Amino acid sequence: MESNPAGQGPALSGNVMFYKKPEPLSPEAHGSLGVKRIDQPLGFLRSAHAVPVTVSEFGMAAASFPVIFVGNDKTPVAVMGIREGQNLFVGADGNSDQDFYLPAFVRRYPFVFASDNQSDRLLLCVDREGPMVTDQPEVPFFENGQPTKFTNDAIEFCKEFERQRRATMEFVKLVDSYGLFEQKSVNFTPRDQNGQEGPQQKIADYWAVSEEKLNQLPADKFQELRDNGAIGAIYAHILSLLNWQRVIQRALRTPPPGQPLS
């Protein structure tokens, strides 16, 4: 891990959801810091209705949520709510529903890799404003100027996440090159407290793999996808779309933030 003396850190690029003040981790700047248990460990997740997932997570995430592709880059995300700013799988106590998958994007917090504009490298950073980060830690980041096992484990986790993130980009490029994506939208019908239906509302426009296009691939192209290890992830994604109804039903039972159920 690179060491960056306080006040001499490189300029970082990129903004990442959840992170308010990411700083390159170093014993000089963070030698007295570490983490502690907090009352709401996933409170930061409560306002995220969609969370990025890597291709290696599709199978696990697909058992819990719709896995869709969004934006020009067709970034895969697990849908955890249908309203902006509301995660339906994090309770008021700041804990996630244990019956559902928790993406690695969330589990790595408060650590993250960031790009160094000066040297084209990745640096391990910590969110200095993360609620679990403290100068009175139960688990320190450093001991005698060296990373603790906790910190080394975080480094390895983030390295693996970065490998999977890059593999996911390659997966999306591969699927796109076969012309398998199609645009889709999903809607739901809200109900008031008396069960009366309101006007239909659009939840999202997104990209999905077309099962029809997949089935129409020539045998040799289908075999290529299989040989590249993409078929399993594709089918996991397609099956995950059955979870839209689960998320919608949760939303119908849960009032919007600060509002009555409608």
Q: What is the mean pLDDT of residues 105-124?
A: 85
Q: Which are the contacts of 250, defined by CB distance < 8 A and separation ≥ 6?
A: 88, 89
Neighbours of 211 (CB within 10 A): 14
DSSP-derived pairing of the beta strands 75-79 and 67-70: antiparallel
* Residue 198 confidence (pLDDT): 79
Query: What single-letter DSSP state applies at residue 93?
Result: T
Q: Is the dihedral of CA 133, 134, 139, 145 positive or negative?
A: positive
Residue whose structure tokens are 């139960």: 138
- pTM of the predicted model, to two decimals? 0.87
Domain boundaries, the chain: 12-253
Q: What's the mean pLDDT when you consider all of the chain?
A: 89
Confidence band of 8 (pLDDT split at 50, 70, 90): very low
Higher pLDDT, residue 187 or 257: 187
Give the separation between CA 52 and CA 237, rounded to whole angstroms.
13
**Helix or strand holding residue 185 (H, E):** strand 181-188
Confidence band of 122 (pLDDT split at 50, 70, 90): confident
Whether residue 119 is predicted with pLDDT greater than 90 in this model: the reply is no
Q: Which are the contacts of 189, defined by CB distance < 8 A and separation ≥ 6?
A: 197, 198, 199, 200, 201
Give the separation between CA 258 and CA 28, rounded to whole angstroms.
43
Residue-wise pLDDT for 171-200, tens only, equals: 999 999 999 999 999 988 777 667 778 788
Q: Is the backbone of residue 18 left (phi > 0), alpha (psi -120 to 50) or beta?
A: left
Give the separation between CA 196 and CA 201, rounded to whole angstroms.
15
What is the chain's Cα-based Rg? 21
* Residue 7 confidence (pLDDT): 32
Give the separation between CA 251 and CA 156, rounded to whole angstroms.
36
Contact 9, 24 (CB under 8 A): yes
Whether residue 63 is predicted with pLDDT greater than 80 in this model: the reply is yes
Contact 145, 153 (CB under 8 A): no
**Lowest-pLDDT choice from 48-57, 112-121, 127-136, 244-253:** 112-121
Q: What is the mean pLDDT of residues 38-42?
A: 94
Q: Is the backbone of residue 181 left (phi > 0), alpha (psi -120 to 50) or beta?
A: beta
**Single-letter amino acid, residue 65:** F
* Residue 201 confidence (pLDDT): 83
Higher pLDDT, residue 12 or 46: 46
Q: Which backbone phi and psi does 60 adopt, to 5 degrees?
A: -75, -45
Neighbours of 154 (CB within 10 A): 22
- Which residue, among 78, 57, 56, has the nearest Cα to 67 in the 3D structure? 78
- Which residue, among 94, 23, 67, has the nearest Cα to 172 in the 3D structure? 67
Give the separation between CA 155 and CA 24, rounded to whole angstroms.
12
Neighbours of 91 (CB within 10 A): 13
Residue-wise pLDDT for 210-243, tens only, equals: 999 999 999 999 999 999 999 999 999 999 999 9
